Chains A and B, each alone.
Chain A
Amino acid sequence: MTSIVNRLGGPDIAGTVESPALAPEAAAAVPATTVPVTGERELRLDLFRGLALWLIFVDHLPPNLLTWFTIRNYGFSDATEIFIFISGYTAAFVYGRAMQEAGFVVATARILRRVWQIYVAHVFLFTIFLAEISYVATSFENPLYTEEMGIMDFLKQPDVTIVQALILRFRPVNMDVLPLYIMLMLFLPLILWLMRWKADLTLALAVVIYAVTWQFDLYLSAYPNGVWAFNPLAWQLLFVFGAWCALGGARRMSRILNSPVTLWISFAYLLAAFFVTLTWYIPQLGHLMPRRLEQWMYPIDKTDLDVLRFAHFLALAALTVYFLPRTWPGLKSPWLRPLIVCGQHSLEIFCLGVFLAFAGHFILAEVSGGAVMHALISLSGILIMWGVASLISWYKHEADKGAARKAVRSNADLAGGG
């Protein structure tokens, strides 16, 4: 195994990475304590988080050939759901353990440090965005798009805009995930504290907040107008659900997860969702859709994590867990290595992905467009993400060698977004 797994093979984190959530078949072998003993990192989490990062990157580029490979074209949910769920899962695992060992205050402090890192990353990305926009605003002159260029008007008041960005109210397109993540992490100490008291009750509370959000149409307002593109009040459900799974919920669900009924329901739902998405791309099929169903179903709201999206994610997760056991040998194959490495440094790679998407837009605009260039940019973006992730792995491995004699601490990069 490579460096990162060895590094994590220490007495501390290694144990925490056992994943009952995604390994129901292993549940029987694991004693019923919160902290299982086996010592290997759950590579499936890394794998799918890496995949989510790649898909988010591709989805942020203008549509091209590779866009057809992203899951949002085949169902309701997309990579964001995977990312938030796994982030909740890993964050609860790492910081839940910290809370158990070092207490509430210390764990909270460490979570806040993490929040700060994410915040700084967000501001850094915003700066790059601002530079790009300003360039476009000063160099772009096309009478065809006079109306659309009105969006640059915010540049006339940089004082207001920048302050609004710092308080997370002004967020350009494609920069919505990190603010959501910051909010969720801010509440993580509270979530964990409640979870350790009564896990099921916490999950129920999350469901209630979700329902109330829908019922009373609660939202966070954004600047200059509109709302947060990902409503934290709704998306917390996925995050808390991830945390709940990590802290033993999934093990208790294993019987449900393994039952053929669940699998067939999931499969049928995914298939139905696939046919619905087909009608978006082949409008002629639209008339096969019952009008009643359409009225009930649309719009499938991403901002408030529509229940159809949530269910779609659950179905995907159920099938994945079933068909891809954690002992699957393919997880150690070098072919999946790029994905796994990216998933292991998700905050860095996420930010890199957002930056690369900006850069990709820029190249397409300044150098040349066209399908070949598009594909080339997508592919080289993914290669760069892989390269940087490998570099970070290598560096952390080297740095850890020096620190190995000191007390081993849980490392934040295992936790959400790390």
Chain B
Amino acid sequence: MPSVSWWRCGMIGTALALAWTLGLATSARADDPPSCEVPSYLLTTESPLAKVTDAVKKGQPLDILVVGSRSSTINTSEASAYPARLQAALKDRLPVVPVNLSVELQPKKTAEELASGFVKLVEEKKPILVIWQTGTVDAMRSIDPDEFRTAVNEGVSALQKAGADVILMNLQYSPRTETMISVPPYIDTMRAVAQERDVPLFDRFAIMRQWNEQGDFDLFNPTHGLELAKQVHDCLGRALSKFIIDAAHLGPAQQN
């Protein structure tokens, strides 16, 4: 009898070891060189951006609207924040396409408060692509994740119905406030909604954490000035441009 138990324990041990190896494999895949490289799995998505693809193929201007809270800008230098950097990167990569970008900042508003204004907003600006950065305010106010889920879901579907492609962008990786803001439920919720509504999710949290771990940026450090913020936003903008190009199948290999 004891020998049987030992054998069973061995089996469990092996299974666990396998599971761990798998876990480690996913985390080890990120061993790219520094300088804000992003592992490719964080920049690929199965969800399409059909309207963006269309617009670019037809040579129409690409109108992008970024909706977000305070973390979508940098105090005193909006030109260095990721929306502006995204626009620059896209112009770089798609030289023949006119890229127009506008930013709708709604500081301190939850997803629910924002989503109610979406129909009007899209009617006004008629964007082809809406990048919705959300979650931070909800996490800080510890909105019930269920309500958050409903709000994001309704917001995305309102945007889709109004005729825009949507990208969801989740929270920043902010190690200093980790003991104060409970982030995981909101990230999980956004991932679930993105899957459910089949929209790409730009995983800002995972990407920034990756940079912190790779040593590109020391996001823990309390005393960094404006320069760090500018660099991070520049990297975010470029990563986001790659993400859009991949999702809309606009890469050099995919275009023809």
Contacts and interface: CB of A to CB of B under 8 A. Distances in A.
Interface residues of A, number: 68
Contacts of A219: 144
B174 interface: yes
Contacts of B2: 329
B96 to A, nearest CB: 31
B196 A295 contact: yes
Interface of chain B, main secondary structure: helix
Given A143-B225, A283-B41, A284-B46, A148 B27 contact: no
A149 B178 CA distance: 11
A148 B140 contact: yes
B104 interface: no
B188 A369 contact: no
15 contacts: A74-B23, A142-B228, A143-B75, A144-B229, A146-B70, A147-B69, A147-B70, A148-B136, A148-B174, A148-B177, A151-B140, A173-B181, A174-B179, A291-B196, A364-B175
Contacts of B157: none
A73 B222 CA distance: 30
Contact of A147 (B8, B22, B71, B209): B71
B185 interface: yes
Given A68-B20, A68-B24, A133-B180, A144 B232 contact: yes
Nearest to B219: A144
Interface in A141-171: 141-152
A132 interface: yes
Interface string B9-27: 1001000000110111011
A159 to B, nearest CB: 19
Interface string A361-393: 100110001110000000000000000000000
Given A148-B136, A325-B5, A329-B2, A226 B229 contact: no
A282 B176 CA distance: 27
A151 B177 contact: yes
Contacts of B5: 323-325, 328
Interface string A177-201: 0000000000000000000000000
A142 B141 contact: no
B149 interface: yes
A140 B225 CA distance: 11
Interface of B: 2, 5, 8-9, 12, 19-20, 22-24, 26-27, 41, 44-46, 69-71, 74-75, 107-108, 136-137, 140-146, 149, 172, 174-182, 185, 188-189, 191-192, 195-196, 201, 209, 212-213, 215, 218-226, 228-229, 232
A400 interface: no
Given A148-B140, A226-B141, A282 B177 contact: no
B20 A69 contact: yes
A346 to B, nearest CB: 22
B212 A369 contact: yes
Nearest to A219: B144
Contacts of B27: 65, 68
Contacts of B223: 141-142
Contacts of B107: 147
A62 B208 CA distance: 14
The 10 nearest A-B residue pairs measured at CB: A226-B142, A147-B70, A298-B192, A144-B229, A68-B23, A143-B229, A140-B222, A148-B177, A148-B174, A173-B182
B140 A323 contact: no
B179 A173 contact: yes
Contact of B26 (A282, A287, A328): A282
A146 B181 contact: no
A97 interface: no
Contacts of A283: 41, 45, 191, 201
Query: Considering residues B44, B212, B222, which has the most beta carbons from chain A within 10 angstroms of its beta carbon?
Result: B222
A144 B228 contact: yes
Contact of A148 (B45, B71, B108, B228): B71
A129 B179 contact: yes
